[in-house]
Amino acid sequence: MNQKSILVVASHPDDEVIGCGGTIAMHTAAGDQVAVIFMTNGESSRGEAVSANITSRNKDCEEALKVLGIKNVMKFDYPDNMMDQVPLLDVTKSIEIAIDKFKPSIIYTHFSEDLNVDHRITHQAVITACRPQSWSPVKSIFLFEVLSATEWNSNSKSKFNPNKFVDISDFWSTKLLALNKYSKELRPFPHSRNIKTIEALSIYRGATVGLNQAEAFQVERIIE
Ligand SMILES: [Zn+2]
């Protein structure tokens, strides 16, 4: 078996499951090495009871990653919803540390035009850290969509335009289990960060390419 090394770069704990939880489950089932890094704790901008919330979200995250079969995790502590306040160079260097450690050939990360500022900065830092130099292990970069961030971007920006589809029909139940670990991050329907909407999107993305359920990605780069 040709084992691959995969790195998921997410701004907040829950982005990895919403964006590519089924694809992560597919990779781990195939025996690939998957690492996930988080750039913020996802809580510090929310005001009340911050440290208790961070602890609780870390626990949810740990459980969700266990469901997905992830053992390699790195967490950075950039300010939640304020990553535009820190030098891009610092964020880039953190991602370079993770690339150095995990030597991924494939990276999954955020779309460049998401409404959430942390997602945009994370995207920019990944692209900067993955300058296509001969020594870089990174050969492919795929961008995932996160409901309530990707579809809420400004109409003046380019829209998420997927051109890679991963069949997650066999992995939806695993994604659902992982999503439920983040139940505090989910909102009542018709908010788009909701199980019903996330499932509907997977059915829609699948049906557009003749599959039952899919996760869709925009290809940033493939080097072969
Ligand atoms: Zn996020």
Q: What is the pLDDT of residues 137-170, one digit of tens each?
A: 999 999 999 999 999 999 999 999 999 999 999 9
CA of 224 to the centre of ligand 1 (A): 30
**Number of domains observed in the structure of the chain:** 1
Distance 16 CA to ligand 1 centre (A): 9
Residues 6+ apart with CB under 8 A from 149: 110, 114, 115, 116, 119
Domain around 188:
5-222
Average pLDDT over residues 102-124: 98
Measured CA to CA, the distance from residue 164 to residue 125 in angstroms comes to 22
What confidence tier does 42 reach under pLDDT thresholds 50, 70, 90? confident
* Ligand 1 geometric centre to CA of 208 (Å): 25
Distance from the CA of 222 to the center of ligand 1, in angstroms? 24
Ligand 1 centroid to Cα of residue 214, in Å, is 20
Confidence of residue 1 (pLDDT cuts 50, 70, 90): low
Q: Ligand 1 centroid vs 183 CA: distance in angstroms?
A: 15
pLDDT for the residue numbered 110: 98
Cα 204 to ligand 1 centre (Å): 22
| Per-residue confidence (pLDDT) for residue 31, from 0 to 100 | 97
User: Residue 52 — pLDDT band, cuts 50, 70, 90?
Assistant: confident
Using CA atoms in the order 81, 86, 87, 91, what is the torsion angle rounded to 10 degrees?
Answer: -60
Output the CA 20–ligand 1 centroid distance in Å.
Answer: 12
What is the pTM (predicted TM-score) of this model? 0.96
- Calculate mean pLDDT across residues 20-38: 98
Check pLDDT > 70 for residue 49: no
Ligand 1 centroid–CA 119 distance in Å is 6
Distance (angstroms) between ligand 1 centre and the Cα of 146 equals: 7
Mean pLDDT of the chain: 96
Distance CA(75)–CA(58), nearest Å, equals 10
Tokens of 50: 């911050």
Measured in Å, residue 83 CA sits from the centre of ligand 1 at 12
**Containing H/E element for 215?**
strand 214-222
3-state secondary structure at position 122: helix
The rounded Å distance from CA 14 to ligand 1 centre is 7
State the pLDDT at residue 43.
76
Residues with CB under 5 A from ligand 1 (ion): 11-12, 15
In percent, the amount of the chain with pLDDT more than 90 equals 92
Q: How far is the CA of 124 from the centre of ligand 1 (A)?
A: 15
pLDDT tens figures, 164-205: 999 999 999 999 999 999 999 999 999 999 999 999 999 999
Task: Quote the distance between the C-alpha of residue 8 and its chain's center.
Answer: 6
Q: What mean pLDDT do residues 88-92 have? A: 98
Q: How far is the CA of 100 from the centre of ligand 1 (A)?
A: 24
Q: Is the CB of residue 106 less than 8 Å from the CB of residue 3?
A: no
* CA–CA distance, 98 with 73 (Å, rounded to integer): 9
pLDDT mean over 214-218: 98
Structure-block tokens of residue 11: 């701004």
CATH of residue 202's domain is 3.40.50.10320
Q: Quote the ligand 1 centre to 215 CA distance (angstroms).
A: 17
